[in-house]
Amino acid sequence: MDRALTLALRGPAHGPNPRVGCVLLGPPAPTGDRPVLGEGWHRGAGTPHAEVDALAAARARGHDTRGATAVVTLEPCNHTGRTGPCAQALLAAGITHVEHAIPDPGTTSGGGAQTLREHGVTVTTGTRAAQALELVRHWHHALTHHRPWVTLKTATTLDGRVAAPDGTSRWITGTAARTHAHTVRATVDAIAVTTGTALTDDPALTARTPDGHLAAHQPLRVVVGHRDLPPDARLHGAGGPLLHLRTHDVHHVLATLHEHETRHLLVEGGPALAGALLTHGLVDELHAYLAPVLLGAGPTAVTPFGITTLADAPRWHTTTTHRLGDDLLLVARATPTTEA
Amino acid sequence: MDRALTLALRGPAHGPNPRVGCVLLGPPAPTGDRPVLGEGWHRGAGTPHAEVDALAAARARGHDTRGATAVVTLEPCNHTGRTGPCAQALLAAGITHVEHAIPDPGTTSGGGAQTLREHGVTVTTGTRAAQALELVRHWHHALTHHRPWVTLKTATTLDGRVAAPDGTSRWITGTAARTHAHTVRATVDAIAVTTGTALTDDPALTARTPDGHLAAHQPLRVVVGHRDLPPDARLHGAGGPLLHLRTHDVHHVLATLHEHETRHLLVEGGPALAGALLTHGLVDELHAYLAPVLLGAGPTAVTPFGITTLADAPRWHTTTTHRLGDDLLLVARATPTTEA
């Protein structure tokens, strides 16, 4: 399963589908070792699922997969979507045992284990479940909660300012932090800002490599609010598609993005959008970039969102911290990470 | 010199005197090794200086110190203060070579190297100078700038709040961060708050061990402002001496504390005192404790201190970051730390 998890990581972090890895093992040799017949992983929507990829690899090497075991990081799917059902492919290949780390929560894709069992395949689950869930947390969250995983990014001074009193905000954080933020953009499905932020900062919302080129994957660019963008806005330039949602209803925003199969939304501002999401408990993860600067005045990252007393403030659970030059990134989640 | 630096660390971090370590080395043996005749370190004001301590240790072991080398982390002192001058003690002991890491910046205590040279002792300096300076930075800063090293402590949410809108602030940070803050208190000479903070929060400003007992060293407690404290204020309870400075002039505060031989002042609030110190560039180090909480509203750690545009905001230099449970401590200095 550890190998299958490693294979899964070769897939893209973004996209509508989860990252999945699969290892096909033959019957034990006299030494007790089980030969690896084939390995596979999912490369993104429209390409073969990990199980089918592993079966193809085994066949390409001339291996007989009858009686083999499939070790896969996620329950094999049961439905025909962009590709055929993996449960059927495994049955057709004569696989007799399947070990999967976590069940598929999808109402249409789930049920593969049941189908396999009905055809006489033994199916076990639960090995490395925490790691497997962590690997697919955005997708899993979206299928479970019917909305994207929402990461709120802030870039502030130590006293919580996103700009000085005169509005200057470039750059609060340093090069290392900004480079890191671009690597995160290259892993998400969509980035949202308000029209206010779009009009004030004229951001491009592109994912760029450290040398300034556009990254291979560009997230959907989402602008939330009623005002029009000027024709020469950088958001109209090169980058991901632009979606202008003329609403202030964050539930509507997330429902629309869910229809777009957005699994991971990165919210980069402004303070009113952050506040609205927090009001409704719709932020799953914080990325707080902090620069060692004090301003004493200036706008803050989040508008008031209904907290009047400390006991009512949600406590976030810090997952990691990164030193980025003189700056710091604190990553925290609304719910504690399951111990791996 | 590394051994001398290690010995120096045995001394207290607080107090009017610097931490100093000394190793006495005899002439080289035929193998080239130089025997250690004695080791010493300074245990705080009123006790022997490191050189005298090392000479005593050598004598106690029956060693002849004539012709020996003294390796010491700071230039031997030249004046009679609470104890006699080390330069004279080294001459009397027949020391013929002195290696010290950094010169003594004191107008009365400095000059030991010159005295030694005038009496035929060879004196070299500069080995491990950065580490030696780091070790005595509060004292060195006080003697150079005629005011204490000022550390500003803040304990805030990720959006820079020190309290919720209703004033609740206990506890923004968690147990690990609060325990850490008490260990810092036990190393400083004085802690300052405003009368506003004293009246609002009724802090004790004591240094406590994790089990709640008073630490061995209690810093001077300083309250800045004009208002009286109530007779039952916790500041009147067990802890360090209380000094009420009825002024808003931060220069006057620091000058008074310098007269008290305060080398390291920890400022814990309120926002106006922090702002006043920042206005005048009088903060040397920041200790920013950050809790993974967002409030959206509430008072911030620092009042406006004259910054209107980002380019005018001082950039701090991050020295270390510590994860403390879910919280984070960022330590930054006004000037970059010399590379060790």
Same fold, B2-142 and B148-333: no
What rounded mean pLDDT belongs to chain B?
Answer: 94
Average pLDDT on B218-234 reads: 97
The full 3-state SS of A256-318, as one line of letters, equals: HHHHCCCCEEEECCCHHHHHHHHHCCCCCEEEEEEECECCCCCCECCCCCCCCCHHHCCECEE
Rounded distance, CA A324 to CA B268, Å? 27
Average pLDDT on A48-75 reads: 96
Judge whether B271 is annotated as a binding position.
yes
Nearest residue of B to residue A306 by CA position?
B296
pLDDT digits (tens, 9 = 90+) for B117-143: 999 999 999 999 999 999 999 999 999
Q: Are B205 and B268 in contact (CB under 8 A)?
A: yes
Chain B residues in contact with A285 by the CB 8 A cut-off are none
Angle at CA of residue B31, ends B27 and B33, nearest 5°: 50
Chain B residues in contact with A302 by the CB 8 A cut-off are 159, 294, 296
Average pLDDT on A123-147 reads: 96
Q: Write out the H or E segment, with its range, that includes residue B240.
A: none
Rounded distance, CA A85 to CA A151, Å? 31
Domain ranges of chain A: 2-142, 146-333
Instruction: Tally helices (H) and strands (E) across chain B.
Output: 10, 13
Rounded distance, CA B127 to CA B71, Å? 10
Residue A316, amino acid: W
Nearest residue of A to residue B307 by CA position?
A295
Question: Which of the four pLDDT bands, split at 50, 70 and 90, describes residue A42?
Answer: very high
Average pLDDT on A40-55 reads: 94
Average pLDDT on A120-149 reads: 96
Q: What does chain A come to in residues?
A: 340
Rounded distance, CA A69 to CA A98, Å? 6
Strand A69-74 and strand A21-25: pairing?
antiparallel
pLDDT digits (tens, 9 = 90+) for B96-113: 999 999 999 987 778 899
Pick the CATH number of A2-142 from 3.30.450.20, 1.10.3720.10, 3.40.140.10, 3.30.70.1290: 3.40.140.10
Smallest Cα distance from B248 to chain A, Å: 18
What rounded mean pLDDT belongs to chain A?
Answer: 94
Given this model, what pLDDT does residue B340 score? Answer: 42
**pLDDT above 60 (res A336):** yes
Sign of CA dihedral A64, A66, A71, A76: positive
Rounded distance, CA B247 to CA A272, Å? 41
Sign of CA dihedral B70, B75, B79, B82: negative
Given this model, what pLDDT does residue A340 score? Answer: 42
A159 contacts B160? CB cut-off 8 A? yes
Given this model, what pLDDT does residue B110 score? Answer: 80
A194: which strand partners?
A224
Q: Name the B residues in 155-184 with CB < 8 Å from any A CB.
A: 156-161, 163-166, 168-170, 172
| Sheet strands (E) in B19-148 | 21-25, 36-41, 69-74, 97-102, 122-125
Strand B264-267 and strand B190-194: pairing?
parallel
Residue A60, amino acid: A
Nearest residue of A to residue B167 by CA position?
A309
Judge whether B29 is annotated as a binding position.
no
Chain B residues in contact with A155 by the CB 8 A cut-off are none
From A163, A306, A315, residue closest to B293, measured CB to CB? A315
From A288, A312, A321, residue closest to B321, measured CB to CB? A321
pLDDT digits (tens, 9 = 90+) for B240-297: 999 999 999 999 999 999 999 999 999 998 999 999 999 999 999 999 999 999 999 9
Active site residues of B: 51
Residue keyed to tokens 């055809």? A119
Complex ipTM? 0.90
B326 contacts A318? CB cut-off 8 A? yes
Nearest residue of A to residue B279 by CA position?
A296
A316 contacts B302? CB cut-off 8 A? no
- Name the least confident of A158-172, A236-250, B79-93: B79-93
Nearest residue of A to residue B325 by CA position?
A318
Residue keyed to tokens 């061995």? B216
From B158, B313, B330, residue closest to A164, measured CB to CB? B313
Active site residues of A: 51
Average pLDDT on B52-63 reads: 96
Judge whether B233 is annotated as a binding position.
no
**pLDDT above 70 (res B83):** no
Chain B residues in contact with A172 by the CB 8 A cut-off are 310
- Which DSSP string corresponds to A34-52? --EEEEEE--STTSPPHHH
From A292, A310, A316, residue closest to B330, measured CB to CB? A292
Interface test with A, best of B294, B300, B317, B335 (most A CBs within 10 A): B294
Rounded distance, CA B138 to CA B17, Å? 10
pLDDT digits (tens, 9 = 90+) for A191-218: 999 999 999 999 999 999 999 999 999 9
Question: Which of the four pLDDT bands, split at 50, 70 and 90, describes residue A95?
Answer: very high
Given this model, what pLDDT does residue A338 score? Answer: 59
B309 contacts A295? CB cut-off 8 A? no
Pick the CATH number of A146-333 from 3.40.50.150, 3.40.430.10, 3.90.1560.10, 3.40.50.300: 3.40.430.10
pLDDT digits (tens, 9 = 90+) for A300-320: 999 999 999 999 999 999 999
Rounded distance, CA B125 to CA A142, Å? 65
Helix (H, G, I), strand (E, B) or coil at B44: coil
Most confident listed range (A84-93, B25-34, B154-163): B154-163
Smallest Cα distance from A251 to chain B, Å: 20
Given this model, what pLDDT does residue A83 score? Answer: 67
A275 contacts B313? CB cut-off 8 A? no
Smallest Cα distance from B273 to chain A, Å: 12
- What are A195's two structure tokens? 């029209």
Interface test with B, best of A156, A159, A335 (most B CBs within 10 A): A159
CATH class name, domain B148-333: alpha beta
The fraction of chain B above a pLDDT of 70, given in percent, is 98
Residue A320 CB partners (closer than 8 Å, separation 6+): A331
**pLDDT above 50 (res B218):** yes
Q: Name the A residues in 281-300 with CB < 8 Å from any B CB.
A: 286, 288, 290, 292-297, 300
B278 contacts A302? CB cut-off 8 A? no
- What are B323's two structure tokens? 């994860």
Residue B13, amino acid: A
Given this model, what pLDDT does residue A239 score? Answer: 96
**Buried residues in A125-140 as b, exposed as e (16+ CB within 10 A):** eebbbebbbebbbbbb
Given this model, what pLDDT does residue A110 score? Answer: 80
Q: Name the A residues in 300-319 with CB < 8 Å from any B CB.
A: 300-318
